[in-house]
Each structure stands twice: as structure tokens, then as C-alpha cells.
Amino acid sequence: MSLSEGDTAPGFTMPASFGRTVSSEALKGRPYVLYFYPKADTPGCTKEACAFQEALPQLGHIGIEVIGVSKDKMKPIEKFAGKYGVKFPLASDETTGVAEAYGVWVEKSMYGRKYMGLERSTFLIGKDGVIARIWPKVKIDGHAAEVMAAAKALG
């Protein structure tokens, strides 16, 4: 991963679920969580999105926005968000430009076959636009709670 905690978060603008657009510019001065997930409506990604959705009231209470990012096109993303009641923006990074900027578009391998894909990773970005925490290769169980604890510590 090319980014480190303390680095300025790369800028982005992406289309997001339900006709929204998310951008680093619009989030200036507010802390946020940017998490990358491999594919909408797969078991792990569903579990992760639902965990963040569950944590949303507490995260919102401390002023933290949550944005999920995948390479999926908008149609499957919107279907996924609707099916599971995901209220926070799920953004589409079809060109993988944002994933590349964050260093999470990586070579993966399954059954001996190598391919490029999104590495499940989460970034906590402070209101100053600086990366406060990075969770590479996320294990889903307990992850949203861990992110919430770190977000609360941001102050």
C-alpha cells in the first residue's frame, strides 16, 4: 500500500447510490470513513455494509460520514443498497482511479489464477483531509466497531 497514516488523502469525485455524488471537496472540514469492498451483494461485502449501516447512528452522532467504494457499475450498487437498506453512499469507481490512488487496486490470486481486484481496506480521514488510520486487508468481524472506536478517538 502506497499511502501511510499522516499522508494527505487523495482527492476524489464519484457517482454514488441513489443519484448522489461523493467528493473529497464536499467533505472538506468533516471527518469520514472511506472503505473499499470487492463486489456488491457478495457475502463478505454484505456483512461489512450491514455492519457499517448498523454503526451509522453512532458514527453520525460523532460527525463521521461513511462512504463505501467498489468497482461495480451503479445499477448493481443501487440494487445492493436497496436490498439491504444501506443509507450511506455506495460509490462506483468503475475506472479504478480512486482505488489506484489509495493503493488498493492490487494483484490478487485465486486457485492459481492472478487477476487485478480491490483489496478490502478502510481509511479514516480526519477533518483536515489527513489519513488518521488505515486498515489494510480488512477482516470483517468486529471491523466496524474498531473503526468507530478510532473515529471517536479523533475527537
**Confidence category of residue 97, pLDDT binned at 50, 70, 90:** very high
Measured distance CA(102)–CA(18) in Å, rounded:
24
Question: In the annotation, is 50 catalytic?
Answer: no
**Confidence category of residue 154, pLDDT binned at 50, 70, 90:** confident
Q: What is the pTM of this model?
A: 0.94
Task: Pick the catalytic residue from 3, 16, 33, 45.
Answer: 45
Domain 13-154, CATH homologous superfamily name and number: Glutaredoxin (3.40.30.10)
Question: For position 110, what pLDDT does the model report?
Answer: 85
pLDDT at 77 over 60: yes
Domain boundaries, the chain: 13-154
pLDDT at 1 over 70: no
Measured distance CA(48)–CA(58) in Å, rounded:
16
Nearest to 39 by CA among 104, 119, 142: 119
**Confidence category of residue 155, pLDDT binned at 50, 70, 90:** low
Nearest to 30 by CA among 125, 144, 152: 125
